[in-house]
Amino acid sequence: MLFSAIWIAGASVQYIAGNIAIYTVGKILCSLCQGGYLTIAPSYVSEVAPTKNRGAFLAATNFFIVRATDRYAPGPKSYQILFAVQWGFAAIILTGAFFLPESADWCLGHLESSNDYDETELRSSLFRLHGMSGTRADEEVRRLRISFAMDRQAEKVSGNMGYLDCFQGTNFRRTIISLTPPLIQVLCGAGFVLGYQSYFLQITGVAATRSYTITLINYGIFLLGSFLGLLAIERVGRRRMFLAGCYALCISSLLIGIVGESKSMGAKWIFLILISWWGLVYQATLGPIGWAIASESSSRRVRSKTLSMVTMVNAFGNLVFSFINPALINPDKGNLGTKAGFVYGGIMVACSLFSYFWIPEMRGRSYDELDEMFGAKIKARKFSQFMTPHRDQERSCTVK
């Protein structure tokens, strides 16, 4: 709610800005809110979403990042409209926040810290979020209390958790896994391919008006890809989709580097198809899956701190590559043009190798199971095969 109010203020400042200084103030306020949303929203969703649908809800982060514009307006309205639209989105979030229940984890932590034994709010949260009541609610409260007691016991041993604790013990591996996918979203060349698609279309001979139309069509394809990612994440799995995305983008980037330099008409059509294909694959795999992996792999005790670092790493990476990409592409600098695809193709070879050995499959796993599996130092490739006591119990019940 606080970030929504700041967002409205920031959008208002941008709308009325008459010079770069005032606009910068508004931009800083809006960027502050964006960072807050990208930290708080995945943390909240990871706590309240059912295990079987958790990945899809977390992957939805990318769906709402993808955006497009489909109308031309002359004069100041050409940019003021974009600022004004932010008021509507901020108002929706601000209104919706009044109806969002606190997560069961937060309710239990509040009860324990205040020595309050009234479980009304906790049970209300379980009912509103998961439809739990009666015996099911009793069992869930018992499970939550056991998990909370274990966390409290660990806190007594190690003390309050700070940012350095994200890199100690088993948290080190979990933090690296959380930070890497959002960084790979930058390293894969999204800013190069998606950010400069209109420019590349023009230097390959496509007219400016037609390149704009093709760019709009591509945005529709990107939205479709993001939607397909939401549907596939729980069916295919995080690891499999993320690896497939790394492999496909690696090959596609190399092909962009090869085809983009050709002057033949056939090569131009292949180049257009590759741009659309690259964006579709990215939005269906690395785009949505990266946010799900970042949220699920983080330790419960340091999740908010880990996700804040995830947001910072992603933002810093985008900032750095906003300077690198022009230096690589522009004729007065690196003059690589579409040959920069070779650079990103090579980077994706390294990212693919890292992902194969580090990114685990967390589909259908509760956070208690993930704590146990990371604690047991299970290899990423073996995560999907590992049977925790919880899974053994489920299997025995199924057999009976």
DSSP per-residue letters across 185-209: HHHTTHHHHTTTHHHHHHHTT--HH
How far is Cα 86 from Cα 82, in angstroms, rounded to an integer?
A: 7
Task: Read off the pLDDT of residues 96-137 as tens digits, 9 standing for 90 and up.
Answer: 777 777 777 777 776 766 666 567 777 887 777 777 878 887
Answer whether residue 189 shows pLDDT above 60: yes
pLDDT level of residue 35 (50, 70, 90 thresholds): confident
Taking alpha carbons only, the member of 358, 391, 295 closest to residue 40 is: 295
- The CATH number that domain 2-100+165-358 falls under is 1.20.1250.20
Mean pLDDT calculated for residue range 284-309: 89
Return the ∠ at Cα 17 (arms to 76 and 30), rounded to 5°.
Answer: 105
* 137-178: pLDDT as tens digits: 788 778 777 777 776 666 655 556 788 888 988 899 999 999
For Cα atoms 362, 370, 313, give the angle at the middle one, nearest 5 degrees: 70
pLDDT for position 66: 61
- Chain mean pLDDT for the chain: 81
Q: Quote the pTM value.
A: 0.79
What are the structural domain ranges in the chain? 2-100+165-358, 104-159
Given a contact cutoff of 8 angstroms between Cβ atoms, the answer to whether 314 and 73 are in contact is no
Instruction: Give the pLDDT confidence score for residue 400 in this predicted structure.
Output: 42
Query: Averaged over 329-352, what is the pLDDT?
Result: 90
Residue in the block written with tokens 């209390």 = 145
